[in-house]
Amino acid sequence: MRKSVVVTFFFATVFFVVISWGENLSVLALAESSSEMGIYEKASDNNTINKDKEAGRTEPERAGSEETLFINTPVPEIPHDETARNVMTSGSDVTEKVEAEQSEPEPEMPYIYVKDPLEPFNRAMFTFNDKAFHYFFKPIYTGYNSMVPEKARVSVRNFYTNIKMPVRFFNCLFQANFKGAGTEMLRFVINSTVGVAGFFDPAKSKFHIEKQDRDFGQTLGKYKMESGTYFVWPFIGPSNTRDTIGLLGDGALNPITWISFFFLTPIESLGNYSYDTINDVSIDKGNTYESITKPAIDPYIALQDAYTQNRIKKIKESPDYNETID
């Protein structure tokens, strides 16, 4: 009788040790997998994305079921709310705000201060653009959408994107992102030939080479140029001193500008630009603009803030950011 109790106790201890060891193990494994998880993909609809994605990676490692795959890539730093940390401009009423903020410390809640001395003018411009969007652009792209199927519109966008390759190529070079520049060159070669003069994007769909969205405003930002004063331009929309210079720079790098300059009359080139813009908006269906301004209490500030936050993110983006994500 005693023996059996001892034996049971012994086994209980052994099991307990095994189980707690196993538990530790599984905890360890979990910790490892979550820190090293890298990319755990779950296609919510079907497996097509997975397949696409998988083919696009240099070293795909397949594990688990069709639905789930783990790929071990190092996790890049995701800064916690740091997107906006270093955007503070000085100004009389701004310093006041800073003091108020300092008295109540709120961790990881940085304010973005936008220098907006031209607010009355900008607000007027914003209203004008808003009206132009709703009463001019929206009817145009709605009609255009009903006539031209989405595939064709995407092709047109691809065509313009391909033509504008020098903008991205040179900005990659300016930002010392030579890998990105090489990528853009490769994309241009593939899309101009296999992609039938750029109407298709086989570089992305077949070879999984991602577009490098670089612009001159971003380049200037990378060289620590401050954003300056906030502007709203007619038709173009929100901008600031730095990005306006950036727009001019991009215009100079844009082959469409050169084509317009040498071969087209001003009206034709305006048409060319507008067509490009409206085609872009038609794919987006004005969603971006409306999703910012529609739910807003003060649409003007909402757009200003969204623009500023988005630009900060683009400038902060490391050259590898796109590659590790896409």
Report whether 168 contacts 184 (CB < 8 A): yes
CA 189 – CA 210 distance, rounded (Å): 14
Site for another protein in 83-122 (CB under 8 A): 83-84, 97, 100-101, 104, 106, 108-109, 111-112
Least Cα distance to 169 among 189, 185, 151, 149 occurs for 185
In angstroms, what is the minimal distance from the CB of 167 to another protein? Answer: 19
Residues contacting another protein: total by CB under 8 A:
65
How many other C-beta atoms lie within 10 A of the C-beta of residue 55? 11
CA 248 – CA 242 distance, rounded (Å): 10
The token pair at 76 is 């890049």
Residues contacting 219, CB < 8 A, separation 6+: 171, 174, 175, 246, 249
Location of structure tokens 């607000």:
123
Q: H or E element: which one contains 237? A: strand 237-240
Site for another protein in 130-159 (CB under 8 A): 150, 153-154
Q: Which is nearer to another protein, 12 or 252 (CB)?
A: 12
Q: H or E element: which one contains 169? A: helix 165-174
Q: Which is nearer to another protein, 202 or 251 (CB)?
A: 202
Location of structure tokens 């201060």:
113
Q: Which is nearer to another protein, 59 or 106 (CB)?
A: 106
Which region holds residue 300: left if phi is over 0, alpha if psi is between -120 and 50, else beta?
alpha
In angstroms, what is the minimal distance from the CB of 190 to another protein? Answer: 16
Q: H or E element: which one contains 293? A: helix 287-293
Residues contacting 207, CB < 8 A, separation 6+: 190
Q: Which is nearer to another protein, 258 or 313 (CB)?
A: 313
Q: Which is nearer to another protein, 142 or 178 (CB)?
A: 142
Stretch that binds another protein, among 8-16, 120-128, 169-177, 186-194 (CB under 8 A): 8-16
Stretch that binds another protein, among 136-144, 218-226, 260-268, 302-310 (CB under 8 A): 302-310
Residue from 8, 95, 142, 193 in contact with another protein (CB under 8 A): 8
Binding letters toward another protein, positions 49-88, x by CB under 8 A: x---x---------------------x--x-xx-xx----
Binding to another protein by residue 278, rule CB under 8 A?
A: no
Residue from 5, 63, 147, 267 in contact with another protein (CB under 8 A): 5
Site for another protein in 240-259 (CB under 8 A): none
Q: Which is nearer to another protein, 81 or 226 (CB)?
A: 81
Least Cα distance to 137 among 250, 264, 278 occurs for 278
Q: Which is nearer to another protein, 100 or 252 (CB)?
A: 100
Q: Which is nearer to another protein, 278 or 302 (CB)?
A: 302
Least Cα distance to 175 among 210, 211, 218, 213 occurs for 218
Q: Give the residues lining the site for another protein (CB under 8 A).
A: 1, 4-5, 8, 11-12, 15-16, 19-20, 23, 26, 30, 34, 37-45, 49, 53, 75, 78, 80-81, 83-84, 97, 100-101, 104, 106, 108-109, 111-112, 150, 153-154, 204, 283-284, 291-292, 294-298, 301-302, 304-306, 309-310, 312-314, 325-326
